[in-house]
């Protein structure tokens, strides 16, 4: 791991569409609906579906994302997690989405 020697600011902005930007000194990443993806990119990974953890998550809550990740990992499903100020999103590849729903439902997660 590399220590970042700068202060980090985190804020919440309201928008209607799903966009997640991450910018570091080395890259700018964008997660968005496929229809909104820019045509010119350096790298691109299509074919993701997402779950939103409902409700606002307090920063003091422990293990919510870890438990979901472990359940899916135990069944051979990798995830890509995106966290916002209010909640977390779990992205899985299209071909694993139905299996992820089944696994989560069998473990008492309500999927709407």
**pLDDT classification of 9: cutoffs 50, 70, 90:** low
Instruction: Kindly give the residue spans of alpha helices, DSSP state H, lying in the chain.
Output: 64-73, 94-106
Helices and strands per DSSP (H, E), number in the chain: 2, 5
The pLDDT confidence band at residue 96, using thresholds 50, 70 and 90, is: very high
Share of the chain above pLDDT 90, in %: 43
pLDDT band at residue 10, thresholds of 50, 70 and 90?
Answer: low
């Amino acid at each position: 791991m590399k220590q970042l020697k700068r202060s980090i600011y985190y804020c919440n902005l309201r928008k209607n569409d799903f966009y997640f930007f991450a910018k570091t000194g080395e890259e700018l990443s964008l997660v968005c609906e496929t229809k909104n993806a820019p045509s010119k990119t350096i790298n691109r990974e299509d074919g993701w579906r997402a779950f939103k953890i409902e409700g606002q998550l307090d920063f003091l809550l422990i293990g919510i994302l870890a438990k979901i990740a472990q359940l899916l990992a135990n069944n051979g499903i990798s995830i890509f997690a995106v966290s916002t100020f209010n909640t977390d999103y779990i992205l899985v590849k299209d071909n694993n989405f139905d299996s992820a729903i089944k696994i989560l439902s069998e473990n008492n997660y309500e999927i709407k």
